[in-house]
Every structure is written in structure tokens, then in C-alpha cells.
Structure 1
Amino acid sequence: MAKIKRDEKSVKLAKQILEDYQPENVEDMQNALKDIFGPMFEAMLKGEMSHHLGYESNDKAEKQTNNRRNGYGKKTVKTSSGEVDIQMPRDRDGSFDSQVIPKRKRDVSAIEDKVIAMYARGMSQRDISSTIEDIYGFSVSHDMVSDITDSVLPELEEWQTRPLHDCYAFVFVGCMYTTIRNQYETKKYAVYTILGYTMEGHKEILGLWLNETESKHKWMQIFDEIKARGVEDIFFLSMDGVSGLEEGARAIFPNVIVQRCMVHLIRNSIKYVPSKDYKPFTKALKKVYGAPSLKACLSAFESFKQQWAAYPGAIDVWTRNFQHVEQLFDYGSAIRKVMYTTNAVESIHSSFRKVTKKGAFPNENALLKVLYLRVQELESKWKDGQMQNWAMVMNQFLLHDHLKDRVLKYLE
């Protein structure tokens, strides 16, 4: 394994802490860090005071103004490592009000929350360090940023292993790729995402998994894992076209109805179509999978094959997968509207790309931290929302014998 390159200042500080405090356990280290917070915040406060007055301490300009430094006052503040006593700088006319530690504020652990929030929005450790320095006039090392964001790892592990609902009406699966630095080379890693809709119509990301490639074996492991976490049944599973994924899903959840994504089939078929014909080609396809009935669908498909006979490769994609188009019409329009595409999980991946576009991640944990924080933001937006037209979806479930008993079982 390659040696991790540490910032020289951080290494020097760590050695000094070990030499001065000689910690023997985690509690000793927490106490050492608590001692460091005091001077750290005091340095930030002094920087703020200089900015407020317009000159540094001992500057000649101090003699040319009525408002000057006026000593210090003691204040006890709460940090993530416990309570810390600090010296608050004062000015003569009392106009100084710190942004780091405002008047009457005694909990300053929020600065760590600010670092985590910036990390969640895809800012690099270097950018976070620069931003903190610009705002507070105090330098935060890359290692310190990493240590602060590592505080979400226990949360992440708990989230990844949490119990799940016993049944999901719809599940959408998909993969996206991002880059991780592995020793001296960079590698593309597949991020596996599963989005579920509960029986109440609420969205939930069941988990995130990493692997160097997307494969049916990994998907089977994932399905096996979510079953172990409490999932007994899935009604519909929408996927792209990974070979073996359908069989793998049914091996774990025998009654699941697997649906190929129409959007992915469109993407696969237009590879055989000149760009000038994209619009009329996709318009003709929409009449097929978007038809009001199976009879209208079959009629539209025959017309489609005749109209685009010049592109046999494109037609073959739909002929080979037409059972997935026909399957849509086994169900009412409200169900079809949900199950026909994996756009719901693709939307999540689009959100992930906004925070992973900064470049390669140094390791898997660094990537998972960013993705987990993004998941938390997304799920907070979904918290009280229900899928549109969910009542109609549930009514249409009850019209099918193979779904009715399962619906009533999990709604009890």
C-alpha cells in the first residue's frame, strides 16, 4: 500500500501534541484537542478584531483612532470535544461583534457543521481550507478537514446497515461511474444505487455500494444484503439492461416483476440511427410504449417497423425486448407511468455528479462521505412528500390478483 502523504505542518502539530500530552487513549486525545480549540478560536477572534478596527495589533494607526483594543473577557464555549475557556477580545466602544462566536452564543461546534456542509456540496479539501481562511483568517489543514468530515463515517455505517421496510412497491436500480485514486493510478468505480418507494408512496434510498465494475454478481450480493436487512417483497423492479440482473433479482425475490427501462432502450436503439432522424424516430417510439392500450401499442409497433425498416439494428433492439413493452400494458396507466423508466434513480445520479465532478477521490471512504451527505440532503427534501397520484396507483394494485393479497398483507 502506498504511503499516505501528510501535510508537514499537521505532522509537526501531531508530534507536538503527542510529546506534550502523551495521550494513552481516545479520551486523552479528545482532551488534547480541546486544549487546541482555545488558541485556535482566539487566533480567529484576533483576526476578526483586526478586520473590525481596520489595522493589526500594535499598528501605528491604533493611535489615530478613538476605537482601540480594550483587553479581553473570559467566555466558556461548547465545542464537539467539550467545554473550552477562551479569551474574547474587546474594543473600547463595544461595537465589536464576532461572527465566529457571536454575543450570547456559547456553542461553537457549528464550525464543524460548516466544514461538513461545504464538503457535502462537493468542495475539495483545498477549497474548504481556503474558504475558512478567507472568512475567519485562520488556516485549516487538509488533514483537519479530513478529520472533521470523518465524523460522519459512523453515521454512514449505521445508515448502510439500518433495517429496511418489509416491502417496497417500486424499486429502481442503477449505476454511475466516478474516479478513485488507487496508489499511483486512477480507476473508475461503479456506484450502485437503489431507490425504493414504500407502501405509503415515500421515496427512500436503500443504500450505496461501490465496485470496480457493474456486474450481475454484485447486484445479487446487494439484493441478498437488502433481504437480510428486512426486505421481504418487492412488487416492481425497474432496471437498465445489465446482463443477468433480472435473473439475479428473481433469485432473491421470486415474485418481483422486472421491467426494462424504455429510456435505456431508446438510447440503445438510436445508436443505429443517424442524428438527423433522432426526433422523428423517438416520436414514433413514444406512440408504441406510450399507447393507451396493448392493441394500440401492437398496431403502432407494426407501423414503426415499416417506417424505419432502413435501420434494422434499431428495430432489432425493440423486437428482442418487446416483452417488456407488452408487460407495461398488463397494468393501469398510473402504474405504467411509474415503472416504465429508471429516471427516478438517474435523477439521483445527476445530483451525485454535481458533488463528484471535482476530480478523483483519494479512497472509497472519501467518496462515500460525499455521497452520503448528498443523500441526507435529498431525503430531507423528500421527507413529507408522497408520489403524485399514489392513491390511484394503490387502487390499480388491488385490481390484480397476484398483487392484491400482497398489498393487503403489507398495509395491515
Structure 2
Amino acid sequence: MTQLQFSLNMEKLKDSVMNSNIDAVVKSTIVLILNEYMEKERDEYLQAGAYERSEIRQDYRNGYYDRDYMMSIGKMKLRVPRTRSGEFSPSVFEKYKRVDQAFTLGMLEMVVNGVSTRKVKNIVQELCGEEVSKSFVSSLTAKLDPIVREWAERPLNTIYCPYVFVDAMYIKVREHHKVVSKAVYIATAINEENKREVLGLKVDHQESFEAWASFLKSMIDRGLQSPKLVISDAHEGLKKAIQKTFIGTAWQRCTVHFKRNLVDKMPKKGMKEMVVDIRRIFEAVTVEDARKFKEAFLSKYENNTKLDKVRERLDEGFEDSIQYLNEPTKYHPFIHSTNHLERLNEEMRRRERVIRIFPNNQSAFRLLGAHLMEYAESKQQQKALLKK
């Protein structure tokens, strides 16, 4: 690396020290050093000093321009030398470019982790002594758009996922000067290596057959092969969309939701024993045992008229709730419910609460997509550590 020798204007530095507070002294000192450094860099680039005749001269001086430069101690104005051709560029800005990038990434990280743009603005002011607008922070976060979009539209034909989980959560979005409710559709999966994958994300209108079918088809268009099992709650539009979209795929009703629905219909008296009997059904290891325990439950409580709705619901939804038992036993703890997806939704909800109302669909897709990317990357890192 070239070593540049230069001297400072000590009179200017002395004046800064004598007539300014310590913050101004630090800034003035850095400005003097950087200005002098850039001046010497231009001399070296030209291979000629000021007013010097030289046969190896590369270009000619062309004055200066002012440029604001942000550092951790605040904003400062530098006097940047230029050349006639415009090809000279001081290394100062390149040298500190990674600092700017780190600072920008830090702000993006704060937003993705649920810090509001207002708080980010206040943090920047506290660190740098300079105020930035909320719109400036928002414009920075827009840099995530192409990254999140590319990730969300990546091909899915490189892996096979036998077990796919789908669920939806609701958020508030401004649309046509009104605040409306929007559904966020999310799909995750377990691949052949028993590792979790995030497959898809979509922000759309409220849950319906058409919306769910469109979301599932978008993943097929990206190369998703029909899974063995799709695990979800019992939303009618979703059930119909799964049947129409994934031919030959079985549907697994989330056992946690199903048991909760059954318990909600039970009378308070004697509930504890009934709950134990219900749990025994879904703790079975084989389909045969589950069916045996179910018949035992129906027989035991057949004369209890207060359990008519419970027995009816159990009989109606039973087969859909035990499809996971047809899969290898090692997968049973992971595919009987959508619990892991609901935990992921809750983490997204924690970050979404800070914003409360998204200004538009794109901002919601950006933030939630960035969080899902972060989650997916953490799973990949865990996978890499396990392989070591």
C-alpha cells in the first residue's frame, strides 16, 4: 500500500482548539487530516505537484467540491479535490465505505428485529448527533425489497419436502385511506433430511379457497413437488385448495387444534377424565391403536348426552387427524400439528406489533419476508453445525 507523507496547517488546527468545544476540535482535526490526505492522493495520481511541469503527468487539477460525510462522531464537510477527466476518486470514501455499509445494515437489522422507524431515527441521532427522518429510514429498508423478493421466488425443485405445513396470520394494512385486515400466508416444510425449510410467503386478502389455491399453485410453479402430507388447521377453503392443488397428497388435521375443539365442547364436570381419554387416542403409535382408543371413548361415553357433540366431532374428524400415523415413527413428533409454524407466527407477531399498521402490502411483505429469511438462515447454520 502506498504511504503518503503530508503536513497539517497547524494554524488552522490551533484556531480550532482555542475557539471550539472538544467535539468541534475532534471534527476539525479529522477534516484537516482527510482534506490533506486527499490532496496528496491527487498529487500522486497526477504524478505532478501544483504548477509542476512533468513528462509523466496523468491529468490536470480541476478545483474542489464540497461533500458531506457521516461518521460516528457526526456529519462533517470535506473539500474533495477533482481532476479534469473526472477519473480520480479519493480512497477516503472507499476506505470508510464499509463503515457506512455496516451502519446501514445495522439500521436494517433493527427494523427487521421489530424496532420502529421512529426509534431507529432516535438511535441514529443519539449515535451520530444528526437527525434523520423516518422516511429516510423507510427508504433504507426498501433496499431489502429485491433481496426478499429474490428469496421468496427462489426455485423449490432442488429439494423434496414430504411434509408441508401451511397457516395464516392477520395484520393491519392501510389501503385506499382505510385500515384493512390482510392475511399473511406462510408455508414451511420438513425435507428428506428431517430439516425445516421455509417455502413461501404471501400477503393477500382474507382466507378463501381462491387465495389459498393461488398461494399453493405459486409454490408448484416454483418447482415444489406434491408432498406426502400437508398439515394445517381445518379451514374449509384451505382444505379444498389442498385437495384441488396436490393430487394424491393426504391432509393431516392439526391434532392440537382438533383436541382443543373437542375439549371446548366438554362439560366442566368430569372433564379431567375425559381429557385423559382424548389424549390417549392421539398418543397412540399406530393407526390400529388410535382407532381402538377412539372406539373405547365412544363406547364409554355413549350414554352421556352432554357429550353428543364431542362424540360427533371426534367421529367426523378422526381419520383426518391420524394421517401422520401412516408415516415413519421418527416423524410423528414433528408432523402431527402446526405448532412449530404457530411459534414462528408468534415471533413474527411480536415484531409486527411494533409497527401495528403497515403503510402498504409491500412494506408488510418486506419486513415479514426478511424475518423469515433470517429464520431460514439460522436453520441452515444449525444444520451446518450438526454436520461438523
TM-score for both structures, normalised by structure 2: 0.71
Tell me, yes or no, if the aligned pair for 2:252 and 2:322 is still in contact at 8 Å.
no
Unmatched 5+ stretches in structure 2: 1-16, 39-65, 77-91
Q: 1:57 to 1:326 in 2, by over 3 A?
A: farther
Residue 356 of structure 1 corresponds to 352
Q: 1:162 to 1:277 in 2, by over 3 A?
A: farther
The letter of the residue matching 1:351 is: E
Residue 118 of structure 1 corresponds to 110
Alpha-carbon distance in structure 2 between the residues aligned to 1:133 and 1:289: 56
Alpha-carbon distance in structure 2 between the residues aligned to 1:57 and 1:120: 45
Tell me, yes or no, if the aligned pair for 2:27 and 2:73 is still in contact at 8 Å.
no
Q: CA deviation at 1:307?
A: 4.6
**In structure 2, the residue corresponding to 1:357 is in which secondary structure?**
helix
Q: 1:298 to 1:68 in 2, by over 3 A?
A: closer
Tell me, yes or no, if the aligned pair for 1:201 and 1:386 is still in contact at 8 Å.
no
Q: CA deviation at 1:155?
A: 1.3
Alpha-carbon distance in structure 2 between the residues aligned to 1:68 and 1:296: 77
Residue 253 of structure 2 corresponds to 260
Tell me, yes or no, if the aligned pair for 1:174 and 1:194 is still in contact at 8 Å.
yes
Residue 154 of structure 2 corresponds to 162
RMSD of the TM alignment (CA)?
3.5
Pick aligned residue for 2:164 from 143, 163, 171 = 171
Is residue 2:357 matched to residue 1:343?
Answer: no
Alpha-carbon distance in structure 2 between the residues aligned to 1:67 and 1:247: 68
Of 376-385 and 328-337, more deviation after overlay is shown by 328-337
Q: CA deviation at 1:360?
A: 0.9
The letter of the residue matching 1:366 is: S
Residue 380 of structure 2 corresponds to 383
Q: CA deviation at 1:106?
A: 4.8
Tell me, yes or no, if the aligned pair for 2:68 and 2:75 is still in contact at 8 Å.
no
Tell me, yes or no, if the aligned pair for 2:251 and 2:323 is still in contact at 8 Å.
no
Residue 32 of structure 2 corresponds to 72
Pick aligned residue for 2:283 from 259, 279, 290 = 290
Q: CA deviation at 1:367?
A: 1.0
Alpha-carbon distance in structure 2 between the residues aligned to 1:87 and 1:378: 35
Of 314-323 and 122-131, more deviation after overlay is shown by 314-323
Residue 59 of structure 2 corresponds to none
Is residue 2:325 matched to residue 1:333?
Answer: no
Deviations 1:373-408 (A, max 9, x none): 111221121004459xxxxxxxxxxxxxxxxxxxxx
Residue 208 of structure 1 corresponds to 201
Q: CA deviation at 1:312?
A: 2.5
Q: CA deviation at 1:335?
A: 3.0
**In structure 2, the residue corresponding to 1:383 is in which secondary structure?**
helix
Q: CA deviation at 1:349?
A: 0.5
Alpha-carbon distance in structure 1 between the residues aligned to 2:337 and 2:132: 45
Is residue 2:190 matched to residue 1:197?
Answer: yes
How much identity, in percent, do the aligned residues show? 21
Is residue 2:127 matched to residue 1:135?
Answer: yes
Alpha-carbon distance in structure 2 between the residues aligned to 1:243 and 1:87: 58
Alpha-carbon distance in structure 2 between the residues aligned to 1:202 and 1:188: 33
The letter of the residue matching 1:120 is: V
Is residue 2:308 matched to residue 1:312?
Answer: yes
Alpha-carbon distance in structure 2 between the residues aligned to 1:111 and 1:145: 12
Alpha-carbon distance in structure 2 between the residues aligned to 1:57 and 1:235: 78
Tell me, yes or no, if the aligned pair for 1:172 and 1:344 is still in contact at 8 Å.
no
Deviations 1:267-313 (A, max 9, x none): 22233235687655443322001113334323322343335943332
The letter of the residue matching 1:362 is: P
Tell me, yes or no, if the aligned pair for 1:193 and 1:208 is still in contact at 8 Å.
yes
Deviations 1:201-242 (A, max 9, x none): 332211111122111211111221111111233121111101
Q: CA deviation at 1:85?
A: 6.5
Q: 1:88 to 1:109 in 2, by over 3 A?
A: closer
**In structure 2, the residue corresponding to 1:116 is in which secondary structure?**
helix
Q: CA deviation at 1:117?
A: 0.5
TM-score for both structures, normalised by structure 1: 0.68
**In structure 1, the residue corresponding to 2:33 is in which secondary structure?**
strand
Q: CA deviation at 1:333?
A: 2.2
Alpha-carbon distance in structure 2 between the residues aligned to 1:152 and 1:67: 35
Tell me, yes or no, if the aligned pair for 1:196 and 1:205 is still in contact at 8 Å.
yes
The letter of the residue matching 2:380 is: K
Q: 1:87 to 1:285 in 2, by over 3 A?
A: closer
Pick aligned residue for 1:109 from 101, 118, 137 = 101
Q: 1:302 to 1:185 in 2, by over 3 A?
A: same
Tell me, yes or no, if the aligned pair for 2:166 and 2:185 is still in contact at 8 Å.
yes
Is residue 2:362 matched to residue 1:368?
Answer: no
Residue 321 of structure 1 corresponds to 317
Residue 150 of structure 1 corresponds to 142
Alpha-carbon distance in structure 1 between the residues aligned to 2:68 and 2:26: 23
Q: 1:57 to 1:302 in 2, by over 3 A?
A: farther
Alpha-carbon distance in structure 2 between the residues aligned to 1:72 and 1:88: 15
Q: 1:73 to 1:197 in 2, by over 3 A?
A: same
Tell me, yes or no, if the aligned pair for 1:112 and 1:148 is still in contact at 8 Å.
yes
Alpha-carbon distance in structure 2 between the residues aligned to 1:268 and 1:304: 16
Q: 1:312 to 1:99 in 2, by over 3 A?
A: farther
Q: 1:275 to 1:179 in 2, by over 3 A?
A: farther
Residue 7 of structure 1 corresponds to none
Pick aligned residue for 1:224 from 204, 210, 217 = 217
Tell me, yes or no, if the aligned pair for 2:162 and 2:191 is still in contact at 8 Å.
yes
Q: 1:88 to 1:133 in 2, by over 3 A?
A: closer
Q: CA deviation at 1:332?
A: 3.5
Tell me, yes or no, if the aligned pair for 1:265 and 1:317 is still in contact at 8 Å.
no
- CA radius of gyration, larger in: 2
Alpha-carbon distance in structure 1 between the residues aligned to 2:264 and 2:373: 37
